[in-house]
Each structure stands twice: as C-alpha cells, then as structure tokens.
C-alpha cells in the first residue's frame, strides 16, 4: 500500500527560521516538508511539483524575490495551495490592499 504525501514548502532567507518551522511540523502524518532559503530555488521546485503542494509558509521580505511576488507566481500555477506569509517587520496594510486590487 503506497502512502500519498502532501508537500509543505517553507521559504525564509533566515536558516534558523526555516529549521524552526520544519521541526514544528516534522511529526505531522502524511506530509513531506521541503525547505529553502532562496525563493528562486523554491519557486523552481514548486513549478515541478505544484500539484502536490498543500501549503506554503513564506517570509514576506526576502532578497531576490519578495513574498508578495512569490505568492503571485505560485498562485498562477496552483491557485488552491494554502499560504501563510510571515514577517518580523511592521506591515503596511496599503501594500496588501494594493496587491489584492491588482490580482
């Protein structure tokens, strides 16, 4: 009997935060966790495996590709994947409104 695993993607440019989330989710049944500190590499991985993803947890502010653009790109491939964006910075609500209005 084969198991069907759902994939969880964790993306943060800070390795300690990636490890924290991976450790917190490690014992959940039937998921496989993939972690990246580079959002471009994470997006490449997602592109190949997008139908198998159940959840993406991502930092909002990352070098090379910010969280909002990251969400926009992977949602264009799989609009059903659930997402969580996180940040340690203050959030400007206008930024989210602007993103929502453009989508």
Strand order in the sheet with 82-86: 31-36, 6-11, 53-59, 82-86
Q: Give the residue with greater pLDDT, 45 vs 5.
A: 45
What's the rounded mean pLDDT across residues 71-88?
A: 88
- The arithmetic mean of pLDDT across residues 68-95, rounded, is 81
* Measured distance CA(46)–CA(67) in Å, rounded: 14
**Predicted confidence (pLDDT) per residue in 25-77, tens digit:** 999 888 999 999 999 999 999 999 988 999 999 988 888 888 788 888 989 99
Say which residue the tokens 């602007």 belong to: 98
CATH architecture of 6-102: 3-Layer(aba) Sandwich (3.40)
Helix (H, G, I), strand (E, B) or coil at 90: coil
Show the tokens assigned to 4: 């069907």
Q: Is the pLDDT of residue 91 over 60?
A: no
| Token output for 47 | 């592109």
List the domain boundaries for the chain.
6-102
Evaluate whether 54 touches 81 at the Cβ level (below 8 Å).
yes
């Amino acid at each position: 009997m084969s198991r069907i695993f759902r994939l969880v993607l964790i993306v943060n440019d800070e390795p300690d935060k990636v490890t924290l989330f991976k450790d917190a989710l490690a014992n959940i049944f039937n998921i496989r966790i993939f972690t990246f500190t580079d959002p471009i590499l994470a997006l490449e991985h997602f592109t190949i495996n997008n139908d198998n993803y159940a959840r993406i947890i991502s930092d909002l502010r990352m070098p090379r590709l910010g969280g909002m653009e990251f969400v926009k790109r992977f949602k264009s491939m799989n609009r059903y994947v659930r997402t969580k964006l996180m940040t340690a910075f203050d959030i400007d609500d206008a930024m989210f409104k602007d993103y929502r209005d453009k989508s």
